Structure 1
């Protein structure tokens, strides 16, 4: 049986970067290559009802070995990687018995992961770390989750003496661009409850996440020769800057943590004549979330009053909501995850997600679905790394959760 590490190192070789503002799902066809490979692997290890669809989703079933009436549990991870940095030609490297000091990722390019900047590294001294060569991300978000689920699946399929109910497995595309469950077949998946395996460091349990919206500004300026611009020119780029200065400075992600929400300018392009800006709006509190969206629109309205109706158009679209209210009626999901970790000597870290997961949307699609750790750190960048020992422990946690439900 392949180890969780062997699987992970295989999966990160697939370039599965997703792209924003694409109508198709998946947003990139290359994600389907990993989907096909995972479907074949599920069949090889003996999973049943394995299928993929035109959107790149992968589903499989581990049949029950118990005669008891047990809940059907689902385990879900996403195949795509962030478009924040390249995920092509990933060159992972294993650092055995890490010494707790700075790591030279790329000597030629002088790319160093420093403990002064990432102090959490020091806690992994003595463990084996998988890192990048500094030119790409690693892809632990979320190929570590895939590897952990696949190892769990093969363990159950090769050990029929382990008593458990029906287990459903799902792998999704486009999570990083907020479209991971647009076409997820909840009914066909057939789970009563599920977990996404898409979190960070070992011990994390997450069932609170941001309410999220995507916002776009479309600004129509007036271009004219600067020599005769007085009273005539409206510089669209300067209007975009003016808009940004009217947002609360302290509600920038650079200055927020824990339950604090934010407005984030993610892209700006244009000229004097026209400009487009993209924002994301986040807050755990639904009332504050609605207030943020209202403020965004109010600023646009103010600039239209100042420069002329139609100068600034704000387009807002909700992305997902805080899963907390959908999980709390099924708090056994959190209790069992916590208990599984404690029995395995892992300290549970129940934290709010400063982001979102497929599980947030699935929870509002009648599939309560909190999020569990993968063991990874520094996602979406060249300094991403993951502990091999953490990955192995996550697989134990998944198997323990299944055992807890089987024994109830």
Structure 2
């Protein structure tokens, strides 16, 4: 690990290192928003920082949403553009006491992650080979980094500070929001779209620099309840129905090549993400995904047919499939507003980047916001390997992401829709 004055003087790096020092891990299956009160700790810091740099209409809601605006300095009406990032980190790995490492002039080899015994390199993560000579921020192997999405938060804040410090640079209304609970699916549950004030927006929650995403999975989350008949194994003959084995039979009836490990790109999947219980009652948690809504429905129909057959075999009520959540592909909501994609690509190309659209093999707050009336594709942040100890962010890419945001704002100040 090494540091240089140049790297440590980077505004976006300073902000990221500050923000990841706050534990904002969200919690699955909570009925509250935010799911953890500690998310307010960072929200209050961001509110204060926005006030100090001179943003207007700064507010923190009861549900831990931070909103702010940079008013237009134009004498004409142009679209108000929003930028959104989430403050929470994934429940998949601890976000407490994060100890970032800064690797200057990465040599392209294996990176030792502190004293944890873990390391990473291009063999496991080929994208690292393209970052030789760059500066990286990694974990020490004991926690995630939190660049998802505090890199996005840092980039938006750095962009905001630039425009507020340079009133000579013309721009329309810039709307800013930082949200809780994106990682547990409730990031826009209480998002104030009218109060936010944007005509269009971008989530800043993607990966490698140069990417813009406006296609995501159609999704369904399912819980399969398996009711067996628990009885002492010594007197079980002809009576016991072992819910664990019944659940295993259910999983084995589904198409094996529709599991995530056999899919990529636009290919969908069903994924058994969790199972708990005993011989009397077992619960299975599935996520089902596909970019094509028709193919998603086919996968759901396969699950229903398996349930119907096993209810016939073991008795009605043995299997129950419960839908617990869903979202849709934002593509249909973005297509009428493709200027969002084209302006972002123009900004990237002007910075010497190879701009490209990539499908999201997941979902974003932007997908739900798009269906709430705020068209909202997703922009890159310069991070990778999210939700785990191998997460990292490239400093040069983060700096470029700030420049992308600035250029998008400037384009909307001079281009009519």
Judge same fold: TM > 0.5, yes or no. Answer: yes
Please name the residue that 1:62 is paired with. 70
Residue of structure 1 aligned with 2:25, choices 4, 10, 17: 17
Instruction: From 325, 336, 345, give the equivalent of 1:329.
Output: 336
Cα deviation, residue 2, structure 1: 6.9
The match for 1:394 is 401
2:386 equivalent among 379, 389, 396: 379
After TM superposition, list the pairs within 5 Å mapping 1:247-266 onto structure 2: 247-266=254-273
For 1:272, the equivalent position in structure 2 comes to 279
SS in 2 for 1:322: coil
| Equivalent-residue separation in structure 1 for 2:208 and 2:282 (angstroms) | 39
User: 2:53 & 2:103 partners in 1: Cα distance?
Assistant: 30
- Structure 2 equivalent of residue 29 of structure 1: 37
Contact 2:108 2:121 in 1 (8 A): no
C-alpha distance after superposition, 1:295-316 (max 9, x if no partner): 2222112111111111111101
Conserved 8 A contact 1:9-1:92: yes
Separation of aligned partners in 1, 2:88 and 2:410:
30
> Match of 1:218?
225
CA-CA distance at 1:106 after TM superposition? 2.8
> Where does structure 2 lack aligned partners over 5 or more consecutive residues?
1-8
Whole-Å Cα distance in 2 between the matches of residues 74 and 231 of structure 1?
64
Equivalenced residue count is 407
| Aligned alpha-carbon RMSD (Å) | 1.0
1:204 to 207, 211, 215: 211
Alignment partners' CA distance in 1, 2:114 and 2:310: 48
After TM superposition, list the pairs within 5 Å mapping 1:78-89 onto structure 2. Answer: 78-89=86-97
Structure 1 segments of 4+ aligned residues over 3 angstroms from their partners: none
User: Partner of 2:53 in structure 1?
Assistant: 45
| Alpha-carbon offset, residue 226 of structure 1 | 1.6
* Deviation, structure 1 residue 227: 2.2
1:364-406 CA-to-partner distances (Å, cap 9, x unmatched) read 0000000000000111110001110000000000000111111
Give the Cα separation in 1 of the matches to 2:121 and 2:344. 33
TM-score when normalising by structure 2: 0.96
Gaps of 5+ in 1: none
**Contact 1:220 1:274 survives alignment (8 Å):** yes
Q: Does 1:343 align with 2:350?
A: yes
1:180 aligns with 2:187: yes
* Shift of residue 211, structure 1, vs aligned partner: 0.6
Find the aligned partners of 2:214 and 2:182 in 1 and give their Cα distance. 17
Q: Residues 2 and 110 from structure 1, CA distance in 2 versus in 1: closer, same or farther, beyond 3 angstroms?
A: closer
Q: Quick one: distance in 1 between partners of 2:243 and 2:52?
A: 57
Q: How far is the alpha carbon of 1:225 from its aligned partner?
A: 1.7
Find out whether 1:294 has 2:309 as its counterpart: no
**Contact 1:2/1:151 (8 A) holds in 2:** no
Shift of 1:317: 3.6
